[in-house]
Amino acid sequence: MKPAHLQAVAGAPVVLGLLVLTFGWHVSVGVKAVPLATVADALLDFDPEVFDHVVIRDLRLPRAVFAAVVGASLSVAGALMQGVTRNPLAEPGLLGLMAGASFAVVAAGALMGGGSSALLPLIAALGALGGAGLVWGIAMAAPSGATSLSLVLAGAAVTAFLYAAVTLLHLLDEQTFQNLRVWLNGTLAGRSPEVFWWCLPWFAGGLALAFLLARQVTALAMGEEAAIGLGVNVARIKLLALFAVVALTAASVALVGPMGFVGLVIPHAVRLLVGSDYRLIVPYSAGLGAVYLLAIDVVARMVLAPVEVATGLVTALVGGPVFVWLVRVRL
Amino acid sequence: MTRSVMVELVGGRLSLALLVWPLAVLVLLACALLLTGAFSLLTGSYGLSAPDVLAVLRGTLPEAVAGTVVWEFRFPRLLVAMLAGALLALSGAILQGVTRNPLADPSLVGVSQGASLAVVSLIILAPQADGALRPFAAFAGALAVAALIQAMSGARTTGATMRFVLTGIGMAAFISAVTSTLLTYGRIDGALSALGWLAGSVHAAGWNEVRALGLVGAMIVPAATWAARPLGALRMGPEVAVGLGLAVSPARVGLITLSVAAAAAAVAAVGPLGFVGLVAPHIARRVAHSGPGLHLALSAATGALMVTLADLIGRAAFVPLQIPAGLVTALMGAPLFVALMLRAQSRQNL
């Protein structure tokens, strides 16, 4: 076997083990600490008479699942963006996709009074696509072209504008948006399972597409000329990657609101571990992204207990310094 | 545009060449500011006619309510909007000159966020503290963050200006998250008062803020007059500035401190108003090219006009709702920022 395959096989149990451990930790921590043995019982041998089992099944388990799925999705989306655009600072939050999705969800709420949760991921996807298109268009029109700098600056401007617009809509109609206020910081608390089921096809489709594209993205990450030389249809791969990124980001935003920097931190960490082959980066980003967001959510719930910090704030607290470090090292 | 008038003072020993067009623009801006101000005094939920307002300002009260409305609410609010806008624009103009970075802005590079964090900490952690402490807290916070960003982006090498902006964006995200976390932690009344302030609004401004801003403004004006000369030299690059006999590092430190002080005073009074410090100097430069001193004056006038207009729009657009001026400046400023980015020369290539 080639070394890369060896690494993949050797690393997979470690990542899975970590995932199971963090998942169990996440479920056991809370206002009332539940021992891990009870957690295992609740999952494997459910007894509706035991109060702890009900708490875990109905409240904590969904939250842990959401955290794992969103963490995996955002990390994979960030990895794809960094590979396809060859830009170390690419990330759904930085490049306007999250702001676009948030704005679309809020605007749809203002126009249609809430809307059904079936449409929510679609609306978010349209918004994310619009945000990405706007940022990309502005950066391409800049004299220097779509460099890391022009993309991040365009992303910052579009994000500032869209969040100001969101706040404006918020002020105009405070009644409708009482719930959205928390959602806008990115939170895993009290998300409805109904929305999750509607988002699930988007998550699954986006992740599947990302896994299928991994091989060609590796070629693209070496440069467009190299990719063409290797027989990759560059335009098609870019378009498919955009679909995957938009689907993953939109479903994440629709479910838990904007969570910044997850897609920046994890792929870079993964690259340090497994190198530059996207056939390894994509699955490892998914696994470690899930572990990361589960751990972050535990921190968000514990650090100021009994008050809960919005999870999106904690991801920014970790991600901001990582971003600064990347600017120092990579630019 | 190149026409100038010679002004001879002290019997011909001191002569100044003044460009006609920038001076004309400055006068025009002042007129526009006066007009907007007058309009702003007339606009509001309590209907007042122009003679009423004039009578109040002259001190002959037609009725007590009108006097209160104009003198206690609208007039200080107008003055605070003007002063805060002028200070932010000055801060941005100086920062752009020192860093030779056209995209430098107190809110983009974390100075506003540093000030915000300090003020929110004060509101949340020490709710009983005197409001007069706010400007000092804001100044300390802003200076600390500015120094941190400057140190982390490394001020010497050529790519440094871009790193400065990117580092600022990262720091801004981090500091905003800390501020929001503090809001989660704090008691609800403190958090609500801090939230209102964070939106960047002049609606709560009173004579206390006018006094504070006026005092800072009075100190900044002579300092800015001093700043014009080193700014002009630094604009041509550090090597040229050294050749012109400027002590570069002390001048740089002094100018950045000045810029931070101006921004901190404005932020402490009205909260973070985005994009004013970025856009106003560029508008000033587009309408009239001039020397650094006059450019500072033009920027200040433009900034004052921007914030006054933003406040007027925020009050008039969705009556009876009041939109914070900070939102209006963000909605106006972000597209202008993009326009600037598109025009920025390719020398900022990474």
Query: What are B189's two structure tokens?
Result: 């009344």
Return the residue in B105, B113, B158, B166 with the most chain A beta carbons within 10 A, the one to mutate for interface testing.
B166
In this predicted structure, what is the pLDDT of residue B289?
Answer: 73
The verdict on B185 touching A (C-beta cutoff 8 Å) is: yes
pLDDT per residue over A263-299, tens digit each?
A: 999 999 998 888 888 988 999 999 999 999 999 999 9
Residue B321 with chain A: CB contacts under 8 Å: 171-172
**Sequence-ordered list of residues with C-beta below 8 angstroms from that of A278, at least 6 positions apart, any chain:** A79, A83, A213, A214, A215, A217, A218, A221
Q: How far apart are CA B317 and CA B302, in angstroms?
A: 22
The verdict on A181 touching B (C-beta cutoff 8 Å) is: no
pLDDT per residue over A131-188, tens digit each?
A: 999 999 998 887 777 777 788 888 888 988 998 888 888 777 766 555 666 677 777 7
Return the residue in A171, A296, A325, A330 with the most chain B beta carbons within 10 A, the one to mutate for interface testing.
A171
In this predicted structure, what is the pLDDT of residue A210?
Answer: 94
Q: Are A36 and A24 in contact (CB under 8 A)?
A: yes
- Record: contact A149-B178, CB cut-off 8 A: no
In this predicted structure, what is the pLDDT of residue A180?
Answer: 65
Token pair 């759904």 is found at: A92
Look at A245 and B107; give whichever has higher pLDDT: A245
Instruction: Pick A157's closest partner by Cβ from B318, B338, B349.
Output: B338
pLDDT per residue over A81-129, tens digit each?
A: 999 888 888 889 889 999 999 999 888 887 776 567 778 889 899 999 9
- Record: contact A328-B167, CB cut-off 8 A: yes
In this predicted structure, what is the pLDDT of residue B226?
Answer: 82
The verdict on B346 touching A (C-beta cutoff 8 Å) is: yes
The verdict on B17 touching A (C-beta cutoff 8 Å) is: no
Query: What are A112's two structure tokens?
Result: 């249609």
In this predicted structure, what is the pLDDT of residue A209?
Answer: 94
Query: What are B211's two structure tokens?
Result: 């006094």
In this predicted structure, what is the pLDDT of residue A5?
Answer: 63
Q: How far apart are CA A158 and CA A100, in angstroms?
A: 8
In this predicted structure, what is the pLDDT of residue A178?
Answer: 59
Q: CA dist B232 to A7, A109, B298, Å?
A: 59, 51, 15
Instruction: Pick A185's closest partner by Cβ from B180, B341, B345.
Output: B180
- Record: contact A327-B167, CB cut-off 8 A: yes
CB atoms within 10 A of CB A201: 12
Q: Are B327 and B106 in contact (CB under 8 A)?
A: no
Would you list the domain boundaries of chain A?
3-330
Instruction: Pick B350's closest partner by Cβ from A147, A260, A320.
Output: A147
What is the fold, at CATH topology level, of the domain defined by A3-330? ABC transporter involved in vitamin B12 uptake, BtuC (1.10.3470)
Instruction: Pick B159's closest partner by Cβ from A309, A323, A331.
Output: A331
DSSP letter for each residue of A257-312: ---TTHHHHHHHHHHHHHTT-HHHHHHHHHHHHHHHHHHHHHHHHHTTTTS---HH
Residues of chain B with pLDDT under 50: 1, 157-158, 346-350
Residue B341 with chain A: CB contacts under 8 Å: 138, 142, 150, 153-154, 157
Residues 314-343 of chain B with CB under 8 A from chain A are: 318, 321, 323, 327, 330-331, 333-335, 337-338, 341-343
DSSP letter for each residue of A191-209: --HHHHHHHHHHHHHHHHH
Query: In whole numbers, what is the pLDDT of chain A averaged over residues?
Result: 85
| Min Cα–Cα distance to chain A from B110, Å | 12
In this predicted structure, what is the pLDDT of residue B9?
Answer: 58
Instruction: Pick A320's closest partner by Cβ from B108, B170, B331.
Output: B170
Beta strands B14-19 and B4-9 are antiparallel
Instruction: Pick B170's closest partner by Cβ from A168, A185, A324.
Output: A324
What is the fold, at CATH topology level, of the domain defined by B4-101+203-344? ABC transporter involved in vitamin B12 uptake, BtuC (1.10.3470)
Token pair 């410090």 is found at: B277
The verdict on A148 touching B (C-beta cutoff 8 Å) is: yes
Query: In whole numbers, what is the pLDDT of chain B averaged over residues?
Result: 78
Q: How far apart are CA A151 and CA A157, in angstroms?
A: 10
pLDDT per residue over B288-319, tens digit each?
A: 777 778 888 889 999 999 999 998 888 888 77
The verdict on A157 touching B (C-beta cutoff 8 Å) is: yes
Amino acid identity, residue B117? L
